[in-house]
Structure 1
């Protein structure tokens, strides 16, 4: 059994734990929260007996083998490095950190201490993402990648009332790009590598984070268009266009339906069974890697995570989005 500690007690943690119920060798053993009240509340719900309100104490505990970090983005790097330096494996929520400099530090800490660091980007472990990879050759040569993730945030209503919650607070390295845009850009990096050129626009809200944005990316033989938003909705699917047809992906962040529309009008359904909760697949990968003694995922690899974060940095530079973490 891989004994897992949880850092961060929010809705995404609850989603992960629901998914982890079906993962063999996953054992939840400890929880960290800033307050004992919240730790007690969370622990009683999941039957956890080991509670921490001090991260340093948790990091040296012999009762955990690994941790899942689901705190605000600006905390990821320091918290992950603390656990990595103490020999604990780390599954860290996306985006892996606030900027590429932090990601590089995290990767180096994992290498130095021979432990696993993996970004919890769930979509790239989904069975239907593997379907996308395995069937792209049918429409080659590829000429365009288009990805859209626009989802109106309920927290935006609070924002318009003058209440700035974490999702729209630059202190936590949040905003539309970091929360939703990354779901469009990470698959692009895995499928096609790092682009040659990046151009971006975005709407910076008064709080100092972006509400929405668009990115144009140039490769030698193709281009990519990405749109994302936390202040508008979109029902557009994502699409990979090739000279022989187009691959239609209903949702880039969950890939529940995939099919090819060929130039002659025929449609080939590609969707495979994806009945587990979407976070199941990333948790299984993390636990399996630890069980196999591996310290890096071949899918959400160090290179893919670092390249994606460098790309996010370039987009932020283009739109003038600066986080306090950048100034450290």
Structure 2
């Protein structure tokens, strides 16, 4: 059993813990929170034996092998590097860092310490994404990738009333591109690699983060069009357009249904059975990599994470959002 610790006591951490336990290969050994009360309540609720309020102490603990980081985006790099310097393997929530400079430091720490570092981009490890990749050739020459993730944030109403929730605070390296756009960009670089050019625009909120935006990535003989938003909602699916057929993906952040619609009107369903808690696949994959002694994921690789981050860096440079982490 791999002894895991978690950083963060929010709903996403609870979901990961449920997924990790379903793998049968991960034992939840510790939780870190800034306060003793929060750490204690979370540990008691989920049956976690060790609790920490000092990250350095947890990093040096012999009770854990790996850590799942689900803290605010701006803390990912600092926490991951500390943990990896103590020999801990790291599964880090998306986006893995604030910018490519931070990510390069994380990759360097992983390589120097011989530990596994993987971005927790669940969608690219799911069976239905594997179906996308395996059947892409049936589309003929691909001309366009269209991805949309627009989801009205539950915290936007509070923001409009004058509050400053983390989701709209640039101090935490947040915003629509970072929180939702990454789900569109990561599959793009996994499937098609590095774009030649990126053109981006965004609607900036008063706090300085982007509420919504769009991006065009040029690949020479094809392009990619991406929509993301935390201040509007959309039911649009995502698509990959080929000269022979179009592939329709219901939800780019967690593909549940995938089909190919050919020009002659025929339809091929590619949908694969999946477990309900789709975080299972990232947890299972991470555990298998550790069992095999591997230090990098082939799909959620260091190179793909860096490519996605560089695209987001350029999009922010053009569209305007600047984080305190960019000035370090």
CA contact (8 A) 1:289 1:296 kept: yes
Q: Deviations along 1:81-120, whole A, 9 cap, x unmatched?
A: 0000000000000000000000000000000000000000
Residue 16 (structure 1) aligns with: 16
Query: 2: CA distance between counterparts of 1:108 and 1:34?
Result: 27
Query: 1: CA distance between counterparts of 2:235 and 2:47?
Result: 40
Q: Deviations along 1:235-258, whole A, 9 cap, x unmatched?
A: 110000000010000000111000
Is the deviation greater in 205-214 or in 42-51?
Answer: 42-51
Residue 241 (structure 2) aligns with: 241
Residue 317 (structure 2) aligns with: 317
Residue 132 (structure 2) aligns with: 132
Residue 303 (structure 1) aligns with: 303
Shift of residue 275, structure 1, vs aligned partner: 2.4
Residue 292 (structure 1) aligns with: 292
CA contact (8 A) 1:19 1:276 kept: no
Query: 1: CA distance between counterparts of 2:216 and 2:276?
Result: 34
Residue 175 (structure 2) aligns with: 175
Residue 154 (structure 1) aligns with: 154
SS at match of 2:29: strand
Shift of residue 21, structure 1, vs aligned partner: 2.1
Structural mapping, 1:25-64, within 5 Å = 25-64=25-64
Shift of residue 320, structure 1, vs aligned partner: 1.1
Query: 2: CA distance between counterparts of 1:49 and 1:217?
Result: 47
Query: 1: CA distance between counterparts of 2:164 and 2:264?
Result: 51
Structural mapping, 1:211-290, within 5 Å = 211-290=211-290
SS at match of 2:148: strand
Q: Deviations along 1:180-233, whole A, 9 cap, x unmatched?
A: 000000000000001001001100100110000000110021001000000000
TM-score (norm: length of structure 2): 0.99
Query: 1: CA distance between counterparts of 2:114 and 2:243?
Result: 44
Residue 143 (structure 1) aligns with: 143
SS at match of 1:3: strand
Residue 71 (structure 2) aligns with: 71
SS at match of 2:64: coil
Shift of residue 292, structure 1, vs aligned partner: 1.0
Query: 2: CA distance between counterparts of 1:302 and 1:179?
Result: 19
Query: 2: CA distance between counterparts of 1:37 and 1:275?
Result: 33
User: Gaps spanning 5+ residues in structure 1: where?
Assistant: none
Query: 1: CA distance between counterparts of 2:162 and 2:37?
Result: 28
SS at match of 1:22: helix
Structural mapping, 1:182-221, within 5 Å = 182-221=182-221
User: Gaps spanning 5+ residues in structure 2: where?
Assistant: none
CA RMSD of aligned residues (A): 0.6
Shift of residue 19, structure 1, vs aligned partner: 1.3
